[in-house]
Structure 1
Amino acid sequence: MSSSKPAWSERELPVFFRKWRTEWKDEGLSPDNYLDFEGGLRFVLAAAWLFCPETVEYRGCVFLKENFTQGTADDWFTNLEDDRRRIELVVNHVELWSIFSNTPLADSDQLGEELPQLALALGECWQGVLSARYPDREVTVEVSDEEDGSYGPTVTFWTSPTVSAFG
């Protein structure tokens, strides 16, 4: 999977959910039901920071607050010769494998195989949130899955000033 515009249009219910629904013998159960039955509110509240991240503006760029330190950003400005697009791409890069490093991804629930769908959902959320938050900027969210499997599903973004047709 490789995509520059996130689009999560062909959703498949995760394996763990389908198993859970079968165990309850009720194919009408929805993901909302799962969250309620399994005490998911705590997880959803924590996930809000992932899907609606805090951001900071610095030197004409927008950065994920969790990834940002002024010293590191300044180093990237030097190393990448003030190329704001590339700097934002690097600093805002999120590898889903890293977020879930304590979760077994190769178990019978096939959670590792679900990560590309999560990356697309995350990308769509970031696109909407960041576009609304920064209406004077064009926001580009990139969702990818490395061909060699070195990073797994990743999400990043960069911004640029919106160009008006009227100058």
Structure 2
Amino acid sequence: MSTSKPAWSERELPAFFKRWRTEWKDEELSPSNYLDYEGGLRFVLAAAWLFCPETVEYRGCVFLKENFSQDVVDNWFTTLGHDRERIEAVVNQVRLWDVFLNASRTDDEQLGEELPQLALALGECWQGVLSARYPDREITVEVGDEEDGSYGPAVTFRTSPAVSDFD
């Protein structure tokens, strides 16, 4: 798996959006306009949980609440020898195809090709949210993809105590 820190610096508009804008014959329309025209408020409200996830602290670690199970985490502590950063990275991993199980991978829209951009956006959001939420920790967010692209991108994070310039 290849990984990188999230950096979504060169945004490309999704193909479905470009087609929609062309159909409306208005190249000035923005993604915000799309959300308004297509009644996207429900989807954006639900997506808030993805982009600004709830977290829990347990055994000196930070976990996504949605992924957290005390028994599973305790098993990882045994398996990984109390390596907190590795345990967090494993438990906090979100594979985007697991989030979008009902989305077609073969449709004409080719939305699967847009997932790497979504993963980068998600990673940047997590970096900011978690850094603000846990200022006493160094947050490392990683965005990765299978080498062969077979299962799409994943996003995860791990924490460690913040390093002070005065130590």
TM-score (norm 1): 0.97
Corresponding residue number in structure 1 for 2:134: 134
| Equivalent runs, 1:51-130 vs 2, <5 Å | 51-130=51-130
Distance of 1:100 and 1:32 partners within structure 2: 22
**Deviations along 1:51-98, whole A, 9 cap, x unmatched?**
000000000000000000101100000010100011001000000011
Any idea what the Cα deviations from partners look like across 1:21-47, whole Å, max 9, x if unmatched?
Answer: 111111110000000000000000000
Structure 1 gaps of 5+ residues are none
Could you tell me how far apart the structure 1 residues matched to 2:32 and 2:105 are? 23
- Taking the aligned partners of 1:150 and 1:138, their CA distance within structure 2 comes to 31
RMSD: 1.2
C-alpha displacement of 1:149: 2.6
5+ long unaligned stretches in structure 2: none
1:3-14 superposed matches below 5 A: 3-14=3-14
Q: Distance in 2 between matches of 1:162 and 1:7?
A: 21
Aligned residues: 167
One-letter amino acid of the counterpart of residue 161, structure 1:
P
Whether 1:41 and 2:38 are equivalent positions in the alignment is no
Is 1:159 aligned to residue 127 of structure 2? no
1:23 maps onto 2:23 in alignment: yes
Q: Which runs of 4+ in 1 moved over 4 A?
A: none
* 1:130-159 alpha-carbon deviations (Å, 9 max, x no partner): 000000000000001111234310000000
SS at match of 2:141: strand
1:20: how far off? 0.5
Supply the AA of the counterpart residue of 1:120.
L
